Structure 1
Amino acid sequence: MSLLDAVLPSEPTKKMTMDEPVESLLSTTASKLVGKPINRVDGSLKVSGQATYSAEFYIEGQVYGVLVGATIAKGKVKHIDSRAVEALPGIIKVVTDPKHFLRNAQQGGEKKAPTQGVAEIFYHGQPIAAVIAETFEAATEGAKALKVTYQDETEDAVIDFDSALTDAHPVDEKKGSDKNHKQGNPEQGLKESEVSFDQIYHTPSQSNSPMEPHATLAYWEDEKLVLYTANQMLSSCKQQVADALNLDPNNVQLIARYVGGGFGSKLGIAPESIAAAISAKELKRPVLIVMTRPQVMETTIRRSDTRQRIGIGCDKEGVINTFIHNTITSNLPGESFFEPTALSTHYLYRGENRQVDYQMVDVNKVLSGSMRAPGEAVGMIAVECAMDELAIQLDMDPIELRRRNEPEQDPSQEIPFSTRQLIACMEKGAEQFGWEKRNKMPAKCLEGDWWLGIGMAASARGNKLKLSEARATLQIDGSKTLGVKAIIETDMTDIGTGSYTVFSQIAADLLGLPVDHIEMKLGDTSLPPAVGSGGSMGAASSGSSIYLACQQLREMLADKVGLHSDTIQLNNGQISKIGEQEATVTETIIESGKNVATELVEKLAEKTSVAIPDSVLDLLPEEQKAKQNRYDFSRHKNYSLADIIAQYDDQKLSAKGEIKPGKNEKTHRQSSFGANFAEVAVHRVTGEIRVKRMTGVFAAGRILNHKTATSQCYGGMVFGIGSALMEEVIHDKHDGRLCNHDLSEYHIPVNADVPQLDVILLEEDDRYTNPMHIKGIGETAISGAAAAIANAIYNAVGIRVRDFPITLDKLIDQLPD
């Protein structure tokens, strides 16, 4: 390596920390592909079966594994008798590793391994062994036949959440995603308010239930472990795998080019991943372990059940002075995750007296963790139903109550909002939905045998940005119409949300190429690390790193042809000049420095006899002048991007981008906002509930793709239907067994349950979020959707249910005549 190679970076990197509001290049690009509702670039691969998921890869010599779960809720493994199983046809080995097997899955973003050690049992279904066979069928039979002897302590297990509430203990705030908060005197404020409301709401455990089950294909290349696996956050999952097996992270590679949904269940590694890795090491053969649907529900994660107290105090005009949101959640003993139900409560409505308090109950049930919109999805059920109840108590329109309590700034932190369009969303939704036709009094609209009712709820979901990196490369490609293509690389995943598509749109706009000239490489930890898919921050974080990598390429190209970075225009494979720029003070200083650098480089070359790289020569003033003479942009002249790229070594040009969160997240409250409206019908005899129509209006910054964003909102609203009316994980209170551990018994909405959904996306520009001005949207649509349905049910029949889901048995004995 030469001295110059050691000093000069081989790959230029554009870095940005969000410490101040920034303008966006997406406002000035020529093509304006960002925002357009283009079809998914990977859609044809998926519908034709050509998109390969983790369980569909095959490596020569591959064998199959099936996990064996504990059949007690608490106790110890005394003995595993593998002799009879290993004598069965096709069985290779029963693999056990009481020390290293994972007791449960890991939370998203963690760098350390999840809890390991399976000799002690903490919940029914906890994986304790893996049966490996030549075929999946043989492994399945072997797993069923394996005999395990336990020291059964199930009678000491804590399974019933409600009965254990008296044993609730403080949470570990340092490891949570929300914190306890108190300002003013909430209890006294509630007591002294002219109008007060104080009620308890219960939400049950729920299952993420992604379409693709958890799966891992593991194999070793000497000391290197390669996993084809279904994970949402590959960069942190790689660290978890390395920690679990005491490996150098450089010897671990995770690949997940397509992930069939996750909804939070695949944020961290799950037990099958380490079991497959250990088995592959022992057998010296590739091992594929795919969880069954019951195993996915029994051994990955669940959304915690919650008990939420909402206390609101206000004056007779409905102006809130006190807001209390206290929550008890549950998790396995020793685990720190707690459902952050009050994330949006901190800033949603006004009130000088405020309290958020979290407690947790230790239970012997599958790990609780992040499920889509962790916190707001169930927290806003309680908050928004409480607001509806308060509006009725005040004899006030629910929208008017929210309008009167619109805060001028975040009332908890006393910082301004970067943008806030909650009122605009409610007003637009009310107009679209026909809110003015709503019967103010419940049980006043009967059509045939069906009571009809209308309800609404606000939506909010905090916006986040995380460290992410990406690489962008422009290279010659004769197969493309314009003779050049862009390759974008990051280990960010696509879990069905449209990452391949929206990232292609970003790169296409910034580099002036059609979308079919963009090659997107995702889902491989050999690529630059990204935060991954989760928390509605993947598009913003990874998208920003792609944006910055492309911006760096633009600046390098501008320098190559003698333009300023803000006067270069890339469009349809052509480089042209737009506008004029006067040199700033900084640029004048840089130019002076280049004159000094010229002399220094010449002396260095003379003394060391080292050839000066073109990348260095390009920085020198003489070279800049030569470029300006070589490229004449007068009279609107264009130059072919392919011709420019052909002049570089290897006929390609690469750069990286890196985004980091900064001061903006502390100086301004960033959040997406929205409003959900629902109409329901309740059968006057049976209490059957049908959702007739829903409208959602959301403001989430710049929209990258109106079709994929609308689809995300559809999904969120459907999630709300499930949360309101049917989803509930049921554990047997005697032995901890999960009773409804498949999709025939754990009910989620199907086509027949989902009515016409109407989604409206309000235009918004938020310069504080990231260089693209975007925000998360999918989880915003979930937040408040279930509450809108619950409020509509009250409007239909006058029955207020605070124990979710709302099923007909909770209505039937109270239905109006």
Structure 2
Amino acid sequence: MTQLQEAPATKAVGRPLDRVDGAVKTTGEARYAAEFPYPGLAYASMVHSTVARGRITAIDTAAALAVPGVLAVITHENAPPMKKPAKPNPLNLSTLASGTRVNYLNTDEVFWNGQPIAVVVADTLEAAREATALVRAEYEVLKSTVDFNAEQGNAKPQPNSMIQSGGAKKGDAEAALAAAPVSVDLRFSTPAHNHNAIEPHATTALWDGDRLTVHEATQSVDWVRRHLALKFGVPVGGVRVLAPFVGGGFGGKGAVWAGTVLTALAARVTGRPVRMLLSRESVYRTVGGRTPSTQRVALGADTDGRLTSLIHTSITQTGSGGGGPEQVTSQSRHLYAAENILVQQNLVELDTTPNTFMRAPGESIGTFALEAGVDELAYRLGIDPIELRMRNEPTVNPLDGKKFAHRMLRECFVRGAAEFGWADRTPEPGSMRDGQWLVGWGVAAAYHPAWQFPANVRVRWSADGSVLVRCGFQEMGMGAATAQAQIAADALGVPVDSVRVEYGDTALPIGPSAGGSAQTASIAASLLSACEKLTNALGALAKKHPGGSPAEIITAAGKPYLEVSVGADSGLGAVAGQVRFMSKFVMDQRRWVKAASGAHFCEVRVDPDTGETRISRWTGVFDVGRVINAKTATSQLKGGIVMGIGMALSEETLVDPRTGRIMNPSLSEYHVPVHADIPPINVHYLDVPAPTMPLGLLGIGEVGITGVAGAVANAIHHATGKRLRDLPLTLDKLL
């Protein structure tokens, strides 16, 4: 099998450079949301509801107020009024910020078990938490629906919207399935999942009159600013949100949750700076996670393996207090050239914690079912799983005939098979052993759409030769500032160490949310435009003030620096920018399918007596367009694979079907992978630029997790002959 050659690196872009924030993080110098000191700082803690649906009829705060150091106990009986969250509007992405529709502490209604019903503020964290345990509430308990499995019969089709399509079809897939010479019709399930970032949610807030400053663990300082301005009825420009460092997000910090709003409320009520640090349990009970799902994947093929029918349907949940649908069938619209296709997503509303974004929402669980279904069809046909995928690799989008802006999935499988040694695989389940262990090899495709959002930037080239890039984007550990420094360095022809990047502050030009693997491309587009403007300005200046280097030209002109901006944060410029974005977005949607893709190769060892499963080897090959930083890109892709292994083998949020309460809200009972669970992971990428994206990059953060659970399930089937269709793939399901 042939191998693609890695694209040559430019002077900075593509090189495996160390992260610019590496030193401050490893030395402890970096400050996170709960580490900024303020005189007179108070601490807040939330009281959670103990019923899933109802109304508060009485709330006793006397014992809590008697705890020494307690400053206030805020409930729906004494909280100042706040405005309700704005309705989601695709023309204003910040309206997606609210994690729920609930107006915390401005209502006596309870929508899920764990909803905040009071906030205690005290001089110390210990006093606040002691008093929190003493608040007592009485409820009128209303009928609730909390059991996902029991309520699936009430699911309704998800409607189509500008944000997401609920269903689509081509031809008559059900009839084609019935007529197919070879077919599979399978049911899959995935459980709820919860975020466990290394930094739990935290907020520090203080008011100065009607001006609010917030230090926040967030994936979008701009969304938080706009949401808080709306809630408290103050000008957007009067709210400043800072998040210079964020200790992991993965979607859980993409929306604004109760802790943020109630910390700002507590600061306003007490007139003191207030800090709230959520416990791990409070994160589970107030911050949304991934919805559970049930899925049907049905595939029909002729005897040569050509797909005649592809059906993928899903049921997921949203909360009565908020949450949104997951695009579970997203990849099934694009991956395989079936003659007839039916995809449909269905929703059921429950009185549980509102669900939210979690790494590759939709595709992470959707690829599990689809790729396991394709593997099962390969066995029914007696065709190698890679060969079956090759025979059904489309040349245009299967559902609607749109062009692929860039697609090299075939090359990913070819290179991955060579790297992994796939040719040595014996196809029969249970045919490979290593001593007592049954050995299995599995493969699956990875897929995630590529997006681009508006980003405003300002770039300054100083007379001393330094370059300053300013943009209010987020750094959650993926090396965003390093990547933008590399891009600016190449665009201006300067050394990387002469570029400084400021980010994570709403005082800077508005940057995109860190989500959807879109941040790097979004900023890069504006940054490249700004660097071009700056270069042109320098050229014009050089005609009047000839000199050698850019620094000499700027100095000769008697200027301290040259500075340019791209995009406007307010006024007509902001409106024009929004119009340009929507026009480009709609045009791209009509013309292209843009996505990152890849191929996962997994080796497992299964003990036939105990069912213990160990992943012993992993190879992933990805088409993510141009790679900006080889070191951080590899780390991102490995991180996605690790998270996918957790999803495959251990992660599961358990909800009491009687009360709706999460039963395992801790890392002692919610099992994430540890070092001993993870094998050597070999990551490769094609590094071929995508022609319709800035610098040819497609996005890396999310594609790594997609397909992982499918590859593990397929490897287990190859090892044991057992097709496990319900995550997590625990040993009891093998016995």
Q: Secondary structure at the match of 2:426?
A: coil
Q: Is the CA contact 1:102–1:115 (under 8 Å) kept in the aligned structure 2? A: no
After superposition, residues 196-595 of structure 1 pair within 5 angstroms as 196-333=183-320, 335=322, 337-476=324-463, 483-562=464-543
What code does the residue aligned with 1:130 have? V
- 1:763 matched residue in structure 2: 687
Q: CA RMSD in A?
A: 2.0
Pairwise CA distance, 1:683: 0.8
Question: Which of 632, 636, 641 is the aligned partner of 2:550?
Answer: 641
- Cα deviation digits, residues 475-529 of structure 1 (max 9, x gap): 23xxxxxx32111111100011111111111111112222221121101111111
CA distance in 2, matches of 1:102, 1:298: 23
> Is 1:655 the counterpart of 2:655 in the alignment?
no
Do the aligned partners of residues 488 and 363 (structure 1) sit closer, same or farther apart at CA in structure 2, a change above 3 Å counting? same
Which of 618, 628, 636 is residue 712 of structure 1 equivalent to? 636
Matched with 1:116 is 102
Tell me the residue number matched to 2:168.
181
Aligned residue for 1:55, secondary structure, equals coil
The alignment partner of 1:56 has SS state of coil
Give 1:245 deviation, angstroms: 2.0
The amino acid across from 1:116 in the alignment is V
Q: Which residue is 1:583 aligned to?
A: none
- The C-alpha deviation readout for 1:289-336, integer Å capped at 9, x for no partner, is 111111111110110101111111111101012111111100112636
1:773 maps to 2:703: no
For 1:360 and 1:785, locate their aligned partners in 2 and report how far apart those are by CA, in whole Å: 25
Distance (whole Å) between structure 2 residues aligned to residue 290 and residue 106 of structure 1 = 28
2-side partners of 1:210 and 1:175: how far apart?
30
Bigger mean CA deviation after superposition, 176-185 or 653-662: 653-662
**Cα distance in 2 between the residues matched to 1:692 and 1:675:** 17
The one-letter amino acid paired with 2:123 is E
2 CA distance for matches of 1:532 and 1:159?
Answer: 31
**Are residue 803 (structure 1) and residue 726 (structure 2) matched?**
yes
Q: Give the ranges of 4+ consecutive aligned residues of structure 1 lying more than 6 Å apart after TM superposition.
A: 101-108
Contact 1:678/1:789 (CA < 8 Å) preserved in 2?
yes
Q: Partner amino acid for 2:733?
A: K
TM-score, with normalisation over the residues of structure 2? 0.93
From 126, 144, 147, the equivalent of 2:115 is 126
Residues 125 and 298 of structure 1 are in contact (CA less than 8 Å); yes or no, is this contact kept in structure 2?
Answer: yes
1:173, CA displacement in angstroms? 2.7
Aligned pair partner of 2:136 in 134, 147, 155:
147
- Residue aligned with 2:456, SS: strand
Distance 1:389 1:436, change over 3 A: same
Give the letter aligned to residue 778 of structure 1.
Answer: G
2: distance between equivalents of 1:458 and 1:90? 57
The residue aligned with 1:87 is: 66
Name the aligned partner's letter for residue 474 of structure 2.
T
Question: What is aligned with 2:706?
Answer: 783
Separation in 2, partners of 1:225, 1:44: 31
2:603 to 679, 685, 691: 679
Cα distance in 1, alignment partners of residues 210 and 503 from structure 2? 24
After superposition, the C-alpha distances for 1:75-111 in whole angstroms (9 at most, x for unaligned) are: 1111221121111111111122477579999998435
Separation in structure 2 between the aligned mates of residue 513 and residue 58 of structure 1, nearest angstrom:
37
* Counterpart residue number, 2:613: 689
| Deviation at residue 707 of structure 1 after TM alignment | 0.4
Aligned ranges for residues 55-94 of structure 1 at < 5 Å?
55-94=34-73
Question: Are the aligned partners of 1:672 and 1:776 in contact in 2 as well (CA < 8 Å)?
Answer: yes
Asked whether the equivalents of residues 323 and 355 of structure 2 are also in contact (C-alpha less than 8 Å), the reply is no
Larger radius of gyration: 1
Alignment partner of 2:703: what SS? helix
Q: Secondary structure at the match of 1:488?
A: strand
3-state DSSP class of the match of 1:559?
A: helix
Measure, in 1, the Cα distance between the counterparts of 2:68 and 2:85. 31
Q: Which runs of 5+ in 1 are unaligned?
A: 1-26, 477-482, 563-626, 632-637, 813-817
* SS at structure 2 position matched to 1:294: helix
Change (3 A) 1:135 1:649: farther
Amino acid at match of 2:420: F
1:176/1:338 contact within 8 Å kept: no
What SS does the aligned partner of 1:780 have? coil
Change (3 A) 1:28 1:782: closer
Deviations 1:335-359 (CA, angstroms, capped at 9, x unpaired) = 3611111111111101131111111
Q: Which residue of 2 aligns with 1:48?
A: 27
In structure 1, give the amino acid aligned to 2:74. V
Rounded Cα–Cα distance in structure 1 between residues aligned with 2:715 and 2:82? 47
Kindly provide the amino acid, as one letter, of the partner of residue 287 in structure 2: T
Return 5+ residue gaps in structure 2 as ranges.
Answer: 1-6, 568-576
* Contact residue 204 and residue 275 of structure 2 kept, 8 A: yes
**Count of paired positions:** 704
**1: CA distance between counterparts of 2:352 and 2:238?**
34
The CA distance in 2 between the partners of 1:457 and 1:105, in whole Å, is 40
Q: How far 1:176 moved relative to its partner?
A: 4.7
Q: Cα distance, 1:795 vs. partner? A: 0.4
Shift of 1:785: 1.0
Aligned residue for 2:665, secondary structure, equals coil
SS in 2 for 1:59: coil
- Which letter does structure 2 place at the counterpart of 1:259? V
Which amino acid letter does the alignment assign opposite residue 565 of structure 2? K
Task: Compute the TM-score of the two structures, normalised by the length of structure 1.
Answer: 0.84
